[in-house]
Amino acid sequence: MENNNYMLSVRNLKKYFNTPGGKLHAVDDVTFDIPKGTTLGVVGESGCGKSTLGRTILHLHPKTSGQIIFDGRDISDVSKAELHELRKEMQIIFQDPFSSIDPRMSVKQLIAEPLKIYKLCKSKEEIEQKVKETMETVGLASRLADSYAHELDGGRRQRIGIGRAIILNPSFIVCDEPVSALDVSIQAQVLNLMMDLQEQRNLTYIFITHNLSVVKHISNDIMVMYLGTAVEKADSKELFKHQYHPYTKALISAIPRVDIDNKSERILIRGEITSPIEPPNACRFAPRCEYATERCHNEFPQLEEVEPGHFVACHRVRELNNL
C-alpha cells in the first residue's frame, strides 16, 4: 500500500537517451520519497542527471523504466489527456525564466496564460482578479502589469515564472535551478518567497541545484547525484554535519566559508569522469576516488542505510567512516 504522507514516490526511475555511441544513462535507477509539504534538494555537478530527473518525473521526457507515484496515484504511464490534467497539480520553475516565456507577452498576459489554457475562469474580470492576486502574492507591483519581461530585472522575471507556476494552485513544483541565474542578494529574496509560498500552500518541492549552500536552507532532505545515480541521501541538517560518500565530502568542502578560523581544507577531485554512455557496472565515481579498490571498479554500489534515514552508495562507507 502507498504511504499517503508522500506527495511523490519514485521507484527505480531510469531515463536513457539514444546516442550514436550507445545509450546515455542520464538517470539510472533512482528511488526516493518526498513527504507532503517538504522539499527534496537534488544536488550535483552539471550533467549529473538532476534536471533530467525533474523533467522525467513531469513527463517532459518519457521515462525508460521505473515507477512514479504522485499523491498515492501511479502516474508512471498516463495518457495525453491525463497528463494535461496532471499539469495543474505538477508545475515547474525554470532556471532562466526569460527563455521559458514569450517576450511579446506582458506580465499580466504571461501570468494569465495558464488560466486561459485550462479555461479555469468564467470571465475576463475573474482572470484579471486572479492575476492581480497572484502578482501581489509573488511580490510584483501592479504598475508592472503591462510591462514586458525584457524590461524587468532577473528577480522580477523569476517572480513571473513563480506566478505562472502557482496560479493553477499546484501541490508539487519542480524548481530547476530557480535562483542560479540571479545575483546573490536577489537569490535570498526569491528563496524566501518560495519558502513562504510553501508554508502558506503546503507545497512540495524538488529543488534542483548545483549549489549546496543554496539548497541547505530550503531543503528538508538532500539527495546528492553523481552521473545519473543517487550517491547519498539524508536529512539536510544531518548531511551538512556528516557526509559519508567521498563525492559529497568534496562537494561540501568546496562551499566558500566566511569563518576564518575554519581550517577544513577543500577536497579536490581529480581524474577522468566516467562516460555516461553505456557506463560499466561499477561505482561511477571510482576513476576519481582516492579510495577506490578493485571491487569499486567491478561492482555497482547500492544505496544502503548507514544511519537512521541516512543512505550512502559506497562499498567502503563503513570502513572509511568508522560506522
List of residues contacting ligand SF4 (CB under 6 A)? 246, 283, 285-286, 289, 291-292, 296, 301, 314-316
Distance between CA atoms of residues 301 and 296, nearest Å:
8
Distance between CA atoms of residues 301 and 317, nearest Å:
10
First and final C-alpha spacing in the chain: 33
Q: Of the two residues 202 and 302, which places its CB atom closer to ligand SF4 in the complex?
A: 302
Tell me the torsion sign for CA atoms 102, 175, 51, 240. positive
Q: Give the nearest distance from C-beta 316 to ligand SF4 in angstroms.
A: 4
Distance between CA atoms of residues 304 and 321, nearest Å:
14
Provide DSSP, 27-90: EEEEEEEEETT-EEEEE-STTSSHHHHHHHHTTSS--SEEEEEETTEE-SS--HHHHHHHHHHE
Q: Give the nearest distance from C-beta 242 to ligand SF4 in angstroms.
A: 16
Residues found in the chain: 323
Q: Give the nearest distance from C-beta 285 to ligand SF4 in angstroms.
A: 5
Q: Of the two residues 200 and 302, which places its CB atom closer to ligand SF4 in the complex?
A: 302
Q: Of the two residues 207 and 285, which places its CB atom closer to ligand SF4 in the complex?
A: 285
- Helix runs in 90-183, H state only: 107-117, 124-137, 154-166
Q: Of the two residues 206 and 289, which places its CB atom closer to ligand SF4 in the complex?
A: 289
Q: Give the nearest distance from C-beta 92 to ligand SF4 in angstroms.
A: 31
Q: Of the two residues 6 and 226, which places its CB atom closer to ligand SF4 in the complex?
A: 226
Q: Give the nearest distance from C-beta 184 to ligand SF4 in angstroms.
A: 32
Amino acid at 271: G
Q: Give the nearest distance from C-beta 279 to ligand SF4 in angstroms.
A: 13
Q: How far is CA 207 from CA 50, 53, 80, 159, in A?
A: 10, 11, 26, 16
Q: Of the two residues 205 and 244, which places its CB atom closer to ligand SF4 in the complex?
A: 244
Distance between CA atoms of residues 189 and 194, nearest Å:
9
Q: Of the two residues 106 and 321, which places its CB atom closer to ligand SF4 in the complex?
A: 321
Q: Give the nearest distance from C-beta 238 to ligand SF4 in angstroms.
A: 19
Q: What are phi and psi of 244, to 5 degrees?
A: -110, -25
For the purposes of burial, counting CB atoms within 10 Å of the CB of 260, is it exposed (0-12), middle (13-18) or buried (19 or more)? exposed
